[in-house]
Amino acid sequence: MTTPRNETNDAIASAARAEAAPSVDTVVDAEAETPVDARQAAINEAKEIATVVAVALALVLILRTILFQPFTIPSASMEPNFYQGDYIIVSKWNYGVSKYSLPIALPVIKGRLFNHQATRGDVVVFKLPSNPKVDYIKRVIGLPGDRIQVRHDQLYVNGQAVPFTVMGSVAANDSPGGQATLQREFLPDGRAHLMQDMVQDGRADDTEEFTVPMGNYFVMGDNRDNSLDSRFSPYDTSEPGVGFVPEENLEGRAIFILMSWKEGSSIWKPWTWLNFKWDRFFKGVQ
């Protein structure tokens, strides 16, 4: 017996096979979109990286402009507390903002914004008044209105002798005898710091009495016999000094020594890059 053909069942089976078969058009379209998606993903990733870099650079600029900045010690004028090769960190927010505390001096800023007076005994980095392109580091000894004088190697502030104690001797390459007297000086406001005296009756051991103008500071180096500071006139043609330092010239206060390199080390001498003075890493500032 011949089984009659069921056309309805055949139609349903054909439709099922058609649905189960892969769509050639769909597969081809999906493969064609893949390069486009990859390019878009690469563009998005590049944008994300650029955003991260821009934010990082902005944060670095803000930190360097307002908060902290590194400096290197170029001379022996602040021994025995700072030595050539010391790499120090300076806090820039203590005294407010001036055109000299910014990476680029802006002439529109006059004086200091959010000004806070320096404290006697602060170690400050400032722009040299006679040449603002040069950075100096000294210790604040005289505040606005103070009277400062040195008599027979003794510091006087407002007519009162500043006491000190002799701690012993220390090696000093810039001393005629290779040695200096190590002293601890006690400033009127109660702060104390180390200093060194190399010669008796030096040319800065007896000075006139200086009256610090308002808005200015009187600064001195801790290496008293080897420091061109406020005791010396900036108009001295033989050895120009600092004179009084206007408050707007202050860049910041030294807060600690980050690291230090031995004498003779240089960025231009790669073989000296690891010549560290390990005992001077992360030292605080007196």
Residues taking part in catalysis: 77, 138
Q: For residue 16, is it left (φ>0), alpha (ψ between -120 and 50) or beta?
A: alpha
> Percentages helix, strand, coil for the chain, rounded to the nearest 5?
25, 30, 45
Q: Exposed (0-12), middle (13-18) or buried (19+): which is 25, by Cβ within 10 Å?
A: exposed
Q: Residue 114, SS3?
A: coil
Task: Name the residue type at position 193.
Answer: H
Q: How far apart are CA 10 and CA 85, in angstroms?
A: 94
CA 28 remoteness from chain centre: 60
Q: How far apart are CA 15 and CA 120, in angstroms?
A: 96
Cross-strand partners of 100: none
